[in-house]
């Protein structure tokens, strides 16, 4: 049976698999799938709560659009661009968190990484071709998801 709340062991395995798949993706295609931790975290989120994963996609799009607007007024490149994009993502995600925590208090349980993931994806959308970035994030996340779900369904991973 698939646990509704992922154990720390499964989370560690999910992040580790995401790192492995991200590294393979980067070494073979020279594309970053939204950062090294992103696919692992997204796969875990897909297993636990599909609505939260959809929200990450929305916040990522909003972060990207806000960054593009910000670039019209401020010169952003390198580390300044990275900091601005991730900070924008964190602020947007925190805003959504503050609005939704009263209505859905369990939606954000253990979501520390979830605050930076939209910024990491949006940063890669700025640096790489958009289609290739979206394809690499989707492919690596899906591979991670399939491996994790297979392990859970076959009872190979520890459960609560």
Residue 2 lies in a domain: no
pLDDT band at residue 5 under the 50/70/90 scheme:
low
Residue of higher predicted confidence among 111 and 133 = 133
Residue 10, pLDDT > 60, answer yes
Joined together, the tokens standing for residue 19 give 């790192």
Indicate whether 159 belongs to any domain: no
Name the average pLDDT for the chain: 88
Q: Tell me, what DSSP letter sits at residue 97?
A: H
Question: What pLDDT does residue 17 have?
Answer: 95
Q: Report which DSSP code applies to 22.
A: H
Domain of residue 116: give its range: 8-153
**Is residue 89 within 8 Å of residue 63, measured between CB atoms?**
yes
Q: What are the backbone angles phi and psi of residue 116, rounded to the nearest 5°?
A: -105, -20
Does 160 fall in a domain? no
What distances in angstroms separate CA 84 from CA 11, 28, 31, 69, one per listed residue?
Answer: 28, 29, 21, 12
Residue 97 within any structural domain of the chain: yes
């Amino acid at each position: 049976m698939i646990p509704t709340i992922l154990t720390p062991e499964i989370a560690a395995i999910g992040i580790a698999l995401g790192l492995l798949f991200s590294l393979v993706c980067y070494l073979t295609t020279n594309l970053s799938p939204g950062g090294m931790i992103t696919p692992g975290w997204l796969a875990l989120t897909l297993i636990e709560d599909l609505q939260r994963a959809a929200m990450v996609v929305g916040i990522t799009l909003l972060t990207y659009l806000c960054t593009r607007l910000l670039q019209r007024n401020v010169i952003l490149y390198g580390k300044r661009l990275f900091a601005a994009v991730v900070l924008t993502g964190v602020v947007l995600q925190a805003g959504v968190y503050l609005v939704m925590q009263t209505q859905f208090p369990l939606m954000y349980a253990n979501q520390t990484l979830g605050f930076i993931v939209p910024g990491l994806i949006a940063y890669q959308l700025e640096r790489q071709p958009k289609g290739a970035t979206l394809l690499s994030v989707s492919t690596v996340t899906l591979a991670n998801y399939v491996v994790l779900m297979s392990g859970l369904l076959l009872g190979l991973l520890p459960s609560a």
